[in-house]
């Protein structure tokens, strides 16, 4: 009787390993894609070269938006993602405009409208005049910000610009 139970057991194990190709295809995970556009929140203009990051089951290599602000990440495993878009720094130090969205991707799903609207940072501008109300060209203008660090107020350099021939300057953190 013992030999008979071993044969039945081996038959059951062999049946479990011999799946049909259809059954194997059904258990295979279908990959999906996430895409959309990155635009400026105020003007609606596309933001080219925005960096996109995908925190989830798949982490594709560097994804950037194209000249029209479009992006697409393909061959992603299904699951929950945190997708982040960060505007290009253009060689400027400091923080960059960004946004993060939660996305649930189903098996074989192609999401094409995961769009981002990035709020650009403000600009400060003005005109430097002398005592006679004449414009002063070539003057350096510095933006100094106040911030607290370890409970102490301090002043830090934030940006700089130079006046043009009309005495006009513009400080931007874009």
Between 75 and 6, where is the model more confident?
75
CATH code that applies to domain 30-118:
2.60.40.1120
So what's the pLDDT on residue 10? 46
| pLDDT tens-digit series, residues 22-32 | 544 444 689 99
Which residues are CB-neighbours of 39 under 8 A, at least 6 positions away?
45, 46, 47, 69, 115, 116, 117, 118
Instruction: Please give the average per-residue pLDDT across 32-55, as a whole number.
Output: 93
Res. 149 pLDDT band, cuts 50 70 90: confident
So what's the pLDDT on residue 171? 82
Report residue 77 CA to chain centroid gap: 19
List where CATH 2.60.40.1120 sits in the chain.
30-118
* % of the chain beyond a pLDDT of 90: 53
Q: Please give the mean pLDDT across all residues of the chain.
A: 82
């Amino acid at each position: 009787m013992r030999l008979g139970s071993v044969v039945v057991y081996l038959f059951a194990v062999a049946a479990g390993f011999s799946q049909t190709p259809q059954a194997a295809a059904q258990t295979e995970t279908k990959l999906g894609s996430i895409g959309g556009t990155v635009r400026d929140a105020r003007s609606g203009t596309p933001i080219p070269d925005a960096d996109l990051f995908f925190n989830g089951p798949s982490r594709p290599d560097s994804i950037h938006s194209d000249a029209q602000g479009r992006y697409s990440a393909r061959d992603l495993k299904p699951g929950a993602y945190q997708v982040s878009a960060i505007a290009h720094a253009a060689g400027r130090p400091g923080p960059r405009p960004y946004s993060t969205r939660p996305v649930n991707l189903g098996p074989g799903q192609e999401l094409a409208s995961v769009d981002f609207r990035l709020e650009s940072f403000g600009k400060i501008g003005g005109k430097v005049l002398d005592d006679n109300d004449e414009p002063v060209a070539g003057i350096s203008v510095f933006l100094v910000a106040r911030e607290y660090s370890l409970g102490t107020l301090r002043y830090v350099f934030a940006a700089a610009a130079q006046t043009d021939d009309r005495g006009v300057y513009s400080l931007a953190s874009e």
